[in-house]
């Protein structure tokens, strides 16, 4: 037997040796936060491969999945955010960054359908610019701080899907500003606007994330919700949802966005009841929900 | 204070609750191996974000990095493999899949520059199709099994960079088959061919992986090496390198591919010495190294 093969017997490298070598290589990273992130990432990435004894074929399938996910991204579609959402990473990042006073309204995912600079609309008006967007819902409440004081000048930025399932940003048949708008509270801290009853909808299924969900026997549905970002000077803004308590997917929302405190009751009303929207000849609803913001600590 | 904010106090969701919910969602995955992989991936991905308290800005930077990495992939460039290599993941996958008899030749990364179906060349011939590819090296050895028996009919598939640093697949100025070839062992199990002395080279630096290395104060250099895949019927093939023991980057190879047992000595010779290549008027080298394969266990 040659000298070569004898030396191999002494020096075989273990997976853990490799992890320590890679972590050590990042010791020279001068940006201490980047160093911390890269060393933690390397430890967990390696531990995943070691724990599962990841095969070379599975590794290659992972490389191809990530490559396809990159290819699916466009100016109006972010497949990596969809992947983060469906793996629950987005909600974990939300949780570690929003652990403020427990009496403030809880946050949840922003999701991929937010469009900045929605039109500011008059208090009490409707965000539906197209008839047939869905059953009318009068949404109202008060923006308060955690001590119960009302907040004047808060901005309630709302967006939602139509009863077809689609957001305007996904759907060229809707007016561009349909079902989104901003409202500014007055001295009483109150907000009110007409929305439509949201419906459960499937996230985009025609890319790698859809393939992952199918392979894992998971459905692509989100529980019905309205989106809100509520902000005010000197307060911590909250990105959240008002979920429909009658959705069938409250327990299986595909992005894990549901929190018990965010589930709301849409109160049904008959068309003949006082307060019905102009010209309504079908059911309509009211949703009353306050939003509580934490004060910024200077 | 409203009913809403009181209920929020009771039900705040912890990051660990989210991890358990996501892991639980994959309980329904019928492919048991996919279930195992996804549950381990989710636990480690979440643990990374929790342990580092990943901020929303850092999460978004990660999303943008992955998106850019996907965009950098083409038919001849695989930026995600480069990322896996530079984070040491490729070597971990190699280690967990090649833990056979310790007397067999150790494996290392295949890397992104392998081209299948290299020309079969006559034993003793040169893989350099272009003059000026580098200083000649006569590479020779015997393919054996772990009991010391020589192996007839083994295929030694080799490829390497030119002294310019580039592989033919990266470099249109080189003939397509320059510096690659396959050799088949005879009854004595021996192989020999003329290669060129490999040089250290930088991996592609103009994409997201290059930016990551710069941000982390890491260099992009690989320690000089020849690549080999050695295979034979009824034996476990090995993908490995012969590293140049005089490389300056043996301790800092940017893809962590160096294993002590793979470091070789290139013996220098004077042009006037017997055995020099035809027409050589500069230094030349010999490299003697056996390759040991494990038998396939049926």
pLDDT, tens digit (0-9, with 9 covering 90-100), for B36-48: 999 999 999 999 9
**pLDDT at A2 > cutoff 50:** no
**pLDDT at B4 > cutoff 60:** no
Q: What is the mean pLDDT of residues A270-278?
A: 84
Confidence of residue A132 (pLDDT cuts 50, 70, 90): confident
**pLDDT at A269 > cutoff 90:** yes
Confidence of residue A276 (pLDDT cuts 50, 70, 90): confident
Contacts of A202 (CB under 8 A, 6+ apart): A165, A219, A220, A221, A222
Q: How far is CA A144 from the centre of its chain?
A: 23
Q: Which of B47, B52, B105 sits opposite A8 (nearest CB)?
A: B105
Contact B292 A256 (CB under 8 A): no
**pLDDT at A205 > cutoff 60:** yes
CATH homologous superfamily of domain B103-293?
A: Aromatic compound dioxygenase (2.60.130.10)
The answer to whether the beta carbons of residues A102 and B9 sit under 8 Å apart is: yes
Tens-digit pLDDT profile for residues B195-230: 999 999 999 999 999 999 999 999 999 999 999 999
For residue B259, CA distances in Å to A207, B65, B281 come to: 40, 30, 34
Q: Which of A4, A19, A292 sits opposite B92 (nearest CB)?
A: A19
**pLDDT at B298 > cutoff 80:** no
Measured between alpha carbons, how far is A171 from A164 in angstroms, rounded to an integer?
10
**pLDDT at A164 > cutoff 80:** yes
DSSP A114-182: --SSPPB--TT-BS--STTS-SEEEEEEEEEETTS-B-TT-EEEEE---TTS--GGG-TTS-TTTTEEE
Higher pLDDT: A246 or A131? It is A246
User: How many residues are given for chain A?
Assistant: 298
The answer to whether the beta carbons of residues A164 and A233 sit under 8 Å apart is: no
Contact B78 A63 (CB under 8 A): yes
Confidence of residue B237 (pLDDT cuts 50, 70, 90): very high
Q: Which of A56, A96, A218 sits opposite B50 (nearest CB)?
A: A96
**pLDDT at A8 > cutoff 60:** no
Contact B56 A28 (CB under 8 A): no
Instruction: Show the tokens assigned to A5.
Output: 């093969």
Q: Which of B11, B34, B36 sits opposite A259 (nearest CB)?
A: B11
Residues in chain B closer than 8 A to A44 (CB atoms): 44-45, 47-48
Say how many CB pairs under 8 Å bridge A and B.
Answer: 273
Nearest CA in chain B to A56: B93
Domain boundaries, chain A: 3-83, 103-293
- Beta carbons within 10 angstroms of residue A175's beta carbon: 12
**pLDDT at B8 > cutoff 70:** no
Contact B292 A78 (CB under 8 A): no
Confidence of residue B183 (pLDDT cuts 50, 70, 90): very high
**Which ipTM did the prediction report?**
0.89
Confidence of residue B92 (pLDDT cuts 50, 70, 90): very high
Measured between alpha carbons, how far is A224 from A271 in angstroms, rounded to an integer?
23
- Beta carbons within 10 angstroms of residue A169's beta carbon: 17
Tens-digit pLDDT profile for residues A23-81: 999 999 999 999 999 999 999 999 999 999 999 999 999 999 999 999 999 887 899 99
The answer to whether the beta carbons of residues A49 and A142 sit under 8 Å apart is: no
Distance from CA of A116 to the nearest CA of B (A): 17
Nearest CA in chain A to B257: A18
pLDDT of residue A7: 43
A56-72 helix and A79-86 helix, angle to the nearest 10 degrees = 130
Distance from CA of A60 to the nearest CA of B (A): 9
**pLDDT at B1 > cutoff 50:** no
Least confident stretch, A192-196, A240-244, B94-98, B158-162 = B94-98
Tens-digit pLDDT profile for residues B77-88: 899 999 999 999
**pLDDT at B280 > cutoff 60:** yes
pLDDT of residue A187: 97
pLDDT of residue B279: 67
**pLDDT at A9 > cutoff 80:** no
Contacts of A223 (CB under 8 A, 6+ apart): A200, A243, A244, A247, A248, A249, A250, A252, A253, A257, A258
Nearest to B225 by CA among B179, B185, B181: B179
Q: Which of A71, A90, A144 sits opposite B70 (nearest CB)?
A: A71
Residues in chain A closer than 8 A to B292 (CB atoms): 2, 4-5, 8
pLDDT of residue A224: 97
Distance from CA of A163 to the nearest CA of B (A): 26
The answer to whether the beta carbons of residues A235 and A145 sit under 8 Å apart is: yes
In a mutational test of the B interface, the residue from A16, A53, A95, A102 whose CB has the highest number of chain B CBs within 10 Å is A95
B15: Cα within 13 Å, side-chain hemisphere: 23
Instruction: Show the tokens assigned to B248.
Output: 């300056």
In a mutational test of the B interface, the residue from A1, A11, A13 whose CB has the highest number of chain B CBs within 10 Å is A13
Q: What is the mean pLDDT of residues B241-246?
A: 98
Residues in chain B closer than 8 A to A106 (CB atoms): 8, 11-13
What is the rounded average pLDDT for all residues in chain B?
92
Least confident stretch, A35-39, A223-227, A252-256, A280-284 = A280-284
The answer to whether the beta carbons of residues B112 and A63 sit under 8 Å apart is: no
Q: What is the mean pLDDT of residues A229-246?
A: 97
pLDDT of residue B3: 44
Q: Which of A19, A104, A216 sits opposite B34 (nearest CB)?
A: A216
For residue A288, CA distances in Å to A142, A152, A193 come to: 9, 18, 11
What is the rounded average pLDDT for all residues in chain A?
92
pLDDT of residue B99: 76
SS3 B39: helix
Contact A13 B215 (CB under 8 A): no
Residues in chain B closer than 8 A to A2 (CB atoms): 142, 144, 290, 292
- For residues B108, B110, B112, B118, the Cα torsion angle rounded to the nearest 10 degrees is 150
pLDDT of residue A298: 72
Distance from CA of B131 to the nearest CA of A (A): 32
Residues in chain A closer than 8 A to B252 (CB atoms): 25
Q: Which of A10, A49, A70 sits opposite B67 (nearest CB)?
A: A70
**pLDDT at B232 > cutoff 90:** yes
Can you say whether the dihedral through the CA atoms of A184, A190, A195, A201 is positive or negative?
Answer: positive
């Amino acid at each position: 037997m040659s000298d070569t093969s004898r030396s191999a017997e002494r020096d075989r490298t273990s997976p853990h040796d490799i992890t320590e070598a890679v972590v050590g290589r990042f010791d020279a990273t001068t940006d201490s936060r980047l160093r911390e992130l890269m060393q933690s990432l390397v430890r967990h990435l390696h531990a995943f491969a070691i724990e599962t004894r990841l095969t070379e074929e599975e590794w290659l399938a992972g490389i191809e999945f990530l490559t396809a996910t990159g290819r699916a991204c466009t100016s109006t579609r972010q497949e990596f955010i969809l992947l983060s959402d469906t793996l629950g990473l987005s909600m974990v990042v939300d949780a570690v960054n929003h652990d403020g006073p427990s009496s403030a309204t809880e946050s949840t995912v922003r999701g991929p359908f937010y469009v900045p600079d929605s039109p500011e609309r008059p208090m009490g008006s409707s965000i539906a610019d197209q008839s047939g967007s869905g059953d009318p819902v009068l949404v109202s409440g008060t923006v308060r701080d955690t001590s119960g004081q009302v907040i004047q000048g808060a901005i309630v930025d709302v967006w939602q899907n139509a009863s077809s399932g689609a957001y305007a940003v996904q759907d060229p048949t809707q007016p561009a500003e349909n079902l989104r708008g901003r409202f500014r509270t007055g001295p009483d801290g109150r907000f009110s606007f007409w929305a439509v009853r949201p419906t459960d909808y499937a996230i985009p299924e025609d890319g790698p994330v859809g393939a992952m969900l199918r392979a894992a026997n998971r459905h692509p549905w989100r529980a019905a919700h309205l989106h809100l970002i509520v902000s005010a000077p000197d307060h911590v803004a909250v990105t959240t949802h008002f979920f429909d308590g009658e959705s069938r997917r409250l327990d299986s929302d595909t992005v894990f966005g549901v929190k018990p405190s965010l589930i709301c009751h849409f109160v049904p009303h008959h068309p003949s009841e006082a307060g019905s929207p102009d010209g309504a000849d079908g059911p309509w609803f009211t949703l009353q929900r306050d939003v509580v913001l934490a004060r910024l600590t200077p």
